[in-house]
Amino acid sequence: MQYLKDLEKIVNINSFTANKAGVDKVGQVMTTWLEELGFTTKVFKREFIGDHLLFKTPRKEGLPNILLLGHNDTVFPQGYFETFKQDETWVYGPGVCDMKGGNIVALEALRNLYETNNSITNIDFLLVSDEETGSDDSSAVSSKLAKDYDYCFVFEAAGENLELVTARKGVGRYIIKIDGKASHAGTSYTKGINANLEAAHKFIEYSNLINLDEGTIVNIGQIEGGIGINTVSPHCEMKMEFRFDKKSEQLRVMQGVDRITKHSYVEGTTAHADGIIQRGVMEENDKQFKLIKLFESLIGEKIPNERRGGVSDANIVASQGTTTLDGFGPFGDGDHTVHERALKSSFEQRIDMMTTILKHFQK
């Protein structure tokens, strides 16, 4: 299984997102392997993070355009979790399932396709460098490219039962800043305006936006305010994340945050919220399930699917209207920990499945 040796090679290169040299080195290795299969490389050069790489093939009229999507970065800095090892059942190391292992699945399927056809058309492969920190830079690249493709297959890890991923929550973030007025808490309490007390009221109201039945989570995960226990707090800052399964819920929460932020529960306070939708929601749709039925007919097996609360770059592409499926990588667990591992047998299953799928789209 040469592909496990290839996996070992790139896993042993530290590609922590902030390690530009390491991420680029992984990219260079992947470039060599993919150019051997006839891909041409477009480099999106970056100064402080790794370059994003788009590997392109020629176009043949009448075939759908397919984007394979992965990322080269991992989560551990140099000197921490850097060792690749394996036993009879598992491989271990940073990125074996998230998602250097997935990139190897895609690469091996492309090798099989090239060996059969001596060429590959209408299939491109995008590898970004900053997914683990939120794709803040690469999201603009992915969003723009997404519109050029009929389908996108993302190589994050499969589910425990080798599920494909049909839906992922969207993620929004807010920083809420509240201003009050400082005063001595002992001698001049009534002259102050307590920003922390306003934050307490707002905390409860923001939390009331949670709707677990609709899959909507609102979490105020960090609060910082005041200047001392003997002073009425003149300022407070709250950091909030919300996750949602539907665009309608995204809108409802955003409207609610706006309303609550503008309302003063403690007279004299003012507040301002700065927010961003980090990743739009990946919603299930009929086109996905038609694809899955096609895949089932091709491989002769049932393919389970699942929804996930976590996000990936699939969110970005799906948000542009491209029919997207995720979870084409191997099954693994312990990702983002020093116990990360991937199941060897799942590599075989995923490589065989993706080879069959890609061959179908070359006809």
List all residues 6 or more positions away from 19 whose beta carbon is below 8 Å from its beta carbon.
77, 78
List all residues 6 or more positions away from 4 whose beta carbon is below 8 Å from its beta carbon.
86, 91, 344, 347
Q: What is the pLDDT of residues 296-351, one digit of tens each?
A: 999 999 999 999 999 999 999 999 999 999 999 999 999 999 999 999 999 999 99
Rounded Cα distance between 253 and 294, Å, is: 37
Rounded Cα distance between 303 and 30, Å, is: 29
Rounded Cα distance between 323 and 122, Å, is: 16
Cβ–Cβ < 8 Å for 23, 72 = yes
Q: What is the pLDDT of residues 339-348, one digit of tens each?
A: 999 999 999 9
Residue 194 pLDDT more than 80? Answer: yes
- For residue 140, the SS3 value is helix
Whether this model's pTM surpasses 0.85: yes
Rounded Cα distance between 18 and 129, Å, is: 9
Residue 60 pLDDT more than 80? Answer: yes
Residue 29 pLDDT more than 80? Answer: yes
- DSSP characters over 25-66: HHHHHHHHHHHTTT-EEEEE--SSSPPEEEEE----TTSPPE
Q: What is the pLDDT of residue 140?
A: 95
Domains of the chain: residue spans and CATH: 2-168+282-360 (3.40.630.10), 170-279 (3.30.70.360)
Characterize the bridge pairing of strands 164-168 and 305-308: parallel
DSSP state of 213: G
In the chain, pLDDT over 70 holds for what percent of residues?
100
Q: What are phi and psi of 272, to 5 degrees?
A: -140, 135
Q: What is the pLDDT of residues 146-176, one digit of tens each?
A: 999 999 999 999 999 999 999 999 999 999 9
The dihedral sign for the CA sequence 346, 351, 356, 362: positive
Q: What is the pLDDT of residue 66?
A: 98
Q: What is the pLDDT of residues 109-157, one digit of tens each?
A: 999 999 999 999 999 999 999 999 999 999 999 999 999 999 999 999 9
* Range list of β-strands (E), 113-210: 123-128, 151-154, 164-168, 170-179, 183-184
Residue carrying structure tokens 């990125």: 95
In the chain, pLDDT over 90 holds for what percent of residues?
99
Q: What is the pLDDT of residue 49?
A: 98
Q: What is the pLDDT of residue 206?
A: 98
- Give the residues across from 225 on adjacent strands: 236
List all residues 6 or more positions away from 251 whose beta carbon is below 8 Å from its beta carbon.
none
Residue 1 pLDDT more than 90? Answer: no
Residue 101 parent element (H or E): helix 100-117
Q: What is the pLDDT of residue 363?
A: 81
Written as six digits, the tokens of 12 are 């042993």
Give the amino acid at 293: K
Characterize the bridge pairing of strands 332-333 and 341-343: antiparallel
